[in-house]
Structures are given as C-alpha cells and as structure tokens.
Chain A
Amino acid sequence: MKFIIFAGTPGSGKTSVIKYVVQELKDNFKLFFAKFDCLQTLDNERIAKQYKIPTTKKLAGELCPDHYTALEIPKIIKENQDKDIIILETAGLCLRCSPYVKEGLGINVLDITSGDPSRYGPILTDADIVAISKGDLVSQAEREIFRAGVLKVNPETKIAEVNGLTGEGVIDIVKYIEKFSNIKSERLTLKHSMPSAVCGYCYGNKIIDEKETQKRYLAGKELKNLIPNLNCGKCGFKSCNEFIRAVLDGKAKRGQCPFIKK
C-alpha cells in the first residue's frame, strides 16, 4: 500500500489536482480517498460519485486538524488493507505543523499567487513534492522567482507545475506516485512534531485572562489524569480531549466515560 498525503492552504487547488490524479490512477490501482477538513466538506462525496472510488470524510471540529489527522491515520490504514493507494487530503491549517509521514509521499499544493514561499513552515519545507498551482495567472519571470523561492526553503523537493482547471502538469505527480514505494508496516512516523498543547485554551477556555486560563488548564489536567486517553469514542466524543472540554463546559458528565477513575 502506498500512502499519499496532499496538504495545502484552502483554495490552493488540492481537490482539483487530486481529481486528476484519481482519474489517472483509478483504472490501475485500488484507491481510497480520505478528506480531512475542519467544519464541513462535500469533496469526498463528489469524488466518490465522479470516479466511483470509496472515500471518507473526517471533520476535526474542536480539535487541532493536524493532531486529529494523526489520530485517524492508523484507523484509515487498518480499514483499507485491501487498497493499493490511500490518498489523504488535509488543509494542514496552522502552518506550524505538517501532516506528512516519513513512510509516505507528502505533496504540498502551493498557490503561486500566495506570496513569498519563505513564510510557510513544515507544510512546504517537509514536502517531497511541491505542486505549484495557478502558474497560468502569472508571468514567466514570477514563475521562475517563485520556483527559486520554493527551492530555497526546500532544496530537496521535486517540483510539479500544475493547472487544477485543465489538469496540465498533474501527470508529473502521477508518475512520482506510481514510482513511490509501499509502506512496510502500519507504524508510521510524523516528519515533524506537533506544537505543544499545554494551556487552558486547549481545554476550551474562551475568556482571555491569565487566571481563567490557568484555572481551566489545571481542571483539564486533573481530568486527563483520570481518563485512559484511548480516544475509544465510548463517551460519544471523537477524542478524550473533546470529552474533557465538554465536561469543563458543562455539556457532558464525567460518568459518560466508562473508564474514568473514581
């Protein structure tokens, strides 16, 4: 099984590029497509309908989308052992993280009109392939300067110049995917660590105040020590963190967690 992650800011053209990739690969490989988003998406349904491949959508909701993606990856791999290629799409939102894994192929779709490449973090600097989109909107000079800017922050990357509207250039990505090796085991490693989640805001505090944040943090930490942190979902929430937030917000009861220490 090959594991491919597409990441990029909203509107960069990820889904358009993926559609052409799926179109090229679907006849020769068993594909699975997972779309990660924050609040809502219909992209997976559109792709399922258009190309007749199995898909899923994963909404991060209250969680950091990158943390959530990492939590869900093992489940997706486990459930799709019969597939040849898993394609995962995520916005990789805060730019502090990158969702790429060492064993997979990380592709950053980067809008050429989005400004100096040096302002992106690991989402660009850790990418195996940078797919530069919307190049038809700018002059050759700007294309070349942008390309040089990408190589400055990520000298090892391969570059594909793509057009999400016409699909031109996507064939280069398809060739890289075809040549890419399979993952050896289910154990994957993140290319880049996640930012620390250590304050009261991480437990859902909304009041901008040092004391309130501290209070919320301590309450969250106490509860975290009482639950197993398995993200088993038996409490009705996707993850333990969401459960903790709900309890602290008064929207859930401690007893909803069947494993909570008394």
Chain B
Amino acid sequence: MNSKVKKITILPGVNKFGEKEHFERIDIKRGEVVTIVGYTGAGKSQLLYDLERLAQKDTKSKRKILINDKIPDKKLRFDPKKKLIASLGQSMNFFTDMPVKDFLQLHLESRGKKSRQGLIKEVIREANRITGEPISPKMNLLSLSGGQSRALMVSDIANISISPIILIDEIENAGIKKEEAIKILVEEGKIVLIVTHDPSLALNADKRIIIKNGGIVKISKTTLKEKGIACYLNWIENYELDIRKEIREGKEIKNVEIYCEPLKSKNKIKR
C-alpha cells in the first residue's frame, strides 16, 4: 500500500466567512514534510481532519482531497485495515483500562494483523526512547503520564498503524523528546503533515501552509536560509533541554554558555 500513494492533493474550500480559498490546488508528494501554521483557532486541526477523513466537500471547510489525482474509495476513509492515514492528535490520555501489552495486541488485531510478542516489545522500546520515565508492558494504560501516553501513541503510529500518510497535531506540547519523536514518525518515502507552533519545526519542513480564519492563505516553500535558521534554533533548544535535565537532577546552574557562531555554509550546521 505504501508505494501506491504518490501524492495527496488539497482542492480549495471556504474559510470561516464562506469565502473561497485563493489557491488552485496543493500537491504534496511522497517524501515531503509539510507544516501547517497559524494562530490558535485559525483552523489548523480542521485541515488535518479534512485530510484524515479524505473530505469530499462534506466537511465544514468544503475542501476536497484527492489521492494520486483521484477521488479515494470510501473504504479507505474509515476501515482501519485499509486506512492510508495515521494520525497523532492532541489527546494526551488513554481511557482504556488494561495493561499496555494487551492494548497493543488488541490494536494489532483490530488492524487485521497477527500479534507478535517481538513487535509489541519493539513498540514499547521505541516509546521509551522518547519519554523520561520508562513504560513497562504490564503497566496499566490509565496510569501512564501524559508524556508516556504520547510516547506510546507515537510509537504505535510508527510500528502498528503503518501508513503512507502521517498527520501530527502539535507534537511539541507532549512533554516528550520532540526531535526523537519526529525521527521515529517521519520515515523516508512518506507524506507527513505537521500542525505546529514551534518555529524550528515549522522551518525544518519542505513547505508550510499558513492558515487564517479557517482558510489556507499562503503556501511557502522553505528557503535554504530558513532551514539553516531551523538548525540554529534547534541547537538553542537542545541547550535549553540540557539545562532542564540538570535542574531535574538537582544540580545548581552556575552559568549559561551559548556561543553564537555565524552560519557560513551548509556543512557547518551542526545538529
């Protein structure tokens, strides 16, 4: 299924005032990472919903979504066994009362896959890469912290809900290692859309879609300079994370040493 999706297309709908969006079409090809930016309440999550539902002018926005230039089959919309889209929403909690390993097994079954102990272990192992306090297979889902829950959701998407199209809603709010999480989710040859308020994440993508009042107002291609700036911002963030770690471990913070070196060429950018 992965190789069959070559591109996804957004055809214009209307904004919150009912005015038509000013673009002809947005094509997102295999391997592209696109961010969706805008103020809170602007309609970013609505665009993700349209994509997840493969909207056919039947949502509030009246947008139409094509896959490989065609109207997708209805079954692709909801049947988990045929779904093309995996999405990480803003939810931070689980509601199911059962151990982590049983839950993952159930999810494998609902996707029509055989359950394998090895795979379940891998999902938990990968989740533990991005969370502070490790998750164990026997822990109850309800007892997981917000960060642990999100980490498990991320790892589930990467390992169980394997799909050619990935939608991510505000991953930076999760209290998990953002960069690691993105690395786990964003694989080669996938189409990835990320709603974000995070400048370094937004500038790291191939394109960004800007949303205002419920409508797409602009599509920008990320410039090389912007990608450089993204790396720089990332470096500052990581520095901040180091300090956070020291605070959490009870250390006294004596001084901040940030050396700003001007960017010279692409090769000099350190991550």
Contacts and interface: CB of A to CB of B under 8 A. Distances in A.
A171 B58 contact: yes
B58 A140 contact: no
Interface stretch (B107-115, B180-188, B195-203): B107-115
Contacts of B96: 115, 142, 145
Nearest to A139: B153
A161 interface: yes
Interface in A100-152: 112-113, 115, 136-142, 144-145, 147-148
Contacts of A249: none
B94 interface: yes
A194 B186 CA distance: 54
Which of A139, A142, A145 has the most B CB atoms < 10 Å from its CB?
A: A139
Contacts of A141: 103, 107, 153, 156, 160-161
Which of B78, B96, B153 has the most A CB atoms < 10 Å from its CB?
A: B96
Interface in A149-170: 159, 161, 166-169
A138 B103 contact: no
Given A148-B109, A159-B78, A168-B60, A139 B160 contact: no
Contacts of B60: 166-168
A42 to B, nearest CB: 27
Contacts of B36: none
B137 interface: no
Nearest to A148: B110
B91 A139 contact: yes
Nearest to A113: B95
Range for the number of chain B residues in contact with chain A: 20 to 34
B91 A138 contact: yes
Nearest to A174: B58
Contacts of A161: 78
A168 B110 CA distance: 24
A168 B49 contact: yes
B127 to A, nearest CB: 12
A254 B109 CA distance: 62
Interface string B97-122: 10000010011011100000000000
Interface string B80-95: 1000001111010111
A140 B110 contact: no
Contact of A145 (B58, B59, B107): B107
A136 B8 CA distance: 23
Interface of A: 112-113, 115, 136-142, 144-145, 147-148, 159, 161, 166-169, 171
Given A138-B93, A141-B160, A145-B107, 13 more contacts: A137-B93, A139-B94, A139-B153, A140-B161, A141-B103, A144-B107, A144-B161, A145-B96, A145-B106, A147-B78, A148-B80, A159-B78, A168-B59
17 contacts: A113-B95, A115-B95, A138-B91, A139-B153, A140-B87, A140-B153, A141-B107, A141-B153, A142-B95, A144-B80, A144-B107, A145-B96, A145-B107, A148-B106, A159-B78, A168-B60, A171-B58
